[in-house]
Every structure is written in C-alpha cells, then in structure tokens.
Amino acid sequence: MSSTREFALVTHSGRNDSIELARGIVTRLTAAGVCVSVPDEELDMFPDGAVRPLPVPMDDPDVPATPDDHRPEVVIVLGGDGTFLRAARYARPYGAAMTGVNLGHVGFLAETEPEMIDTVVDRLLAGAYSVQERMTLDIDVFDPARPHAKQRTWALNEASLERTQRERILEVAIGVDGHPVTSFGCDGVLCSTPTGSTAYAFSAGGPVMWPQVEAMLIVPNAAHALFARPLVVAPSSVVSVDVADRGQDALLAADGRRVLDVPAGHRVVVRAGRQPIRIARLTDADFAGRLVAKFHLPTTGFRDS
C-alpha cells in the first residue's frame, strides 16, 4: 500500500475558468508532494503528465473499492451541482471525502466559492476539515416473477422513475415495507435523500429536509389523483414502485446520470444505501444559512424596511 497522499480532482472541463483553476490546484498539490488523479476524459487538460488516471468505478452498489494503491482521500470538485454528482461516482467506492468549489449557478452541494480556493487547498493539505456523511440510495429494478435477475444502481440525490411516452401517463403502485400504500397515474415518482430534497424533489413539490435528517422522501410528479402528497419514511424503510403490467414502459434515472430501463410490470425497490457519501466540511456555516444564501430567501417581515 502506497504511503503517498492522493487527492482526486474532477472538473467541469467545458469552462476555461475551471481548467485554469484546476491546473493551479494541481501545481500546488504536487509541490506539496501529493499525487493527483483525474478521470480519463480530463487527462488532456494536464499535458505535462502531472496527474494520473482515476479508474472508472462500477455503478453496482455492491462492488467493492479498488485496491489500496489507488485510494484518494479527498475529491475536489470544480463546477456546479452536476459536476458534483458526477464526481460522487468516483468518491463513493473509495470512501473519499468530497469538497466542491462552486463554478455553477446555484451550487447547492458546493462547500466554497472560487475566491476561497487557496484556503481550501491549505486546509485540505493540513487535514483541517471535518467529515459529514450523507445518506445515499441503493436501487434495484426487476421483474417480480424473476426477482433474482436485477439491475442495480445507486444515487446521492434521487431515483426518478419517469414515463417514456409523453402522450400517456405512467400507472404506478407505491408500497412501503411490503405494505401497499397508494396507486395513481402520473408523470413519474421520485425517491429522494435529504441531500436531494433541494433538487428535483423540491421542484416537484417536496419539502426541504436538513442533511442531518435520516429519512427517505417519496414525491409524486404531476400525479392524477386527489391524494398524492409527498411522504417521508424512515431510513430503515424499503420503498417499492410497481409499474402497471398493462401500462407503458418507464425508465429510472439515478441522479439524472445513470439510467435503467423499467419495462411494464417491473418493480423498482429503493432503500438507504450501504455506502454513504462523505463531505469534507471546511467551514462552520449551517444549512439554514446556506438555504437563505442559495435561494435568496427574505429573512425580514413585510413590515420591516
């Protein structure tokens, strides 16, 4: 096992400011004796050979991490929330802590802004950060008649079951812990973590949950029903969504990135993930302050000037 420290770097490579920032970070880290790895598609950003490739992990939640000779302790993410979700795929198998530098619009998952990058690097090198674990989801898709033939994936934000034909609604039945709860026609159903409650689930009408809450959120998307409210269930619960066997096919999108086909008659099962995502916290800012800042929420009453 190598004793050299390794950091991974994942960058929004479509922006010049991201690339220049990434090169500066690599220069500082390598000068400090830290090995830097990046995804294969980003190697060309560093033509001097200052980085090495970061292996592409498997998406199956049961696949173990790669050998110890290639285990980054931190993944630095330069970009917005989409880049952060892409980077989570690399961080999860290694148990690496993630920290994001926001170069997007909202950047809700990012810890800091670009002007703080020197402080970020200094604190990471010194190990001056705490780690917060974020709940993930493990997702199975299968035919109930053949339950052992499963497709598997995972998500940090949400698992989104979506219709494939715009002219037809998706007929689903939802169960929790083996008990039928409700059924309706809809555009889709989202199962979200607290981290994902400010993303797609929020847009679909779900509540905002603090990251420290241990729970899963079920949010119907444009349901054709009088009772189709968001549900918050225990982290130990198992959520099932059955697609009607005489209805249309669907698809399952995990964090909007990993997509599985869900034919009519198949079942989606979602449970709390066995492997959390670890977030490197560099500041003491709480979630309420982040919520106010990112969504530009008013904090004074209408009578105040």
Biggest CA–CA distance in the chain, Å, is: 64
Structural domain 6-135+277-295, CATH architecture: 3-Layer(aba) Sandwich (3.40)
Domain boundaries, the chain: 6-135+277-295, 137-272
Instruction: Categorize the per-residue pLDDT at 59 as very low, low, confident or very high, splitting at 50, 70 and 90.
Output: low
pLDDT in tens, 176-218: 999 999 999 999 999 999 999 999 999 999 999 999 999 999 9
Q: What confidence score (pLDDT) does residue 69 get? A: 59
Q: Give the integer Cα–Cα distance in Å for 140 and 147.
A: 10
Confidence of residue 68 (pLDDT cuts 50, 70, 90): low
Q: Which SS3 state, helix, strand or coil, does residue 20 take?
A: helix
Question: Out of 48, 81, 122, 255, which one is annotated catalytic?
Answer: 81
Residue 212: partners with Cβ closer than 8 Å, 6 or more residues away: 194, 287
Q: What does R_g of the chain's alpha carbons equal in angstroms?
A: 21
pLDDT digits (tens, 9 = 90+) for 119-177: 999 999 999 999 999 999 999 999 999 988 899 999 999 999 999 988 899 999 999 99
CATH superfamily, domain 137-272, is: Probable inorganic polyphosphate/atp-NAD kinase; domain 2 (2.60.200.30)
The one-letter amino acid code at 198 reads T
Q: Is 81 marked active-site?
A: yes
In tens, the pLDDT along 8-18 reads 999 988 778 88
Q: Locate 28 and state its tokens.
A: 């500082």
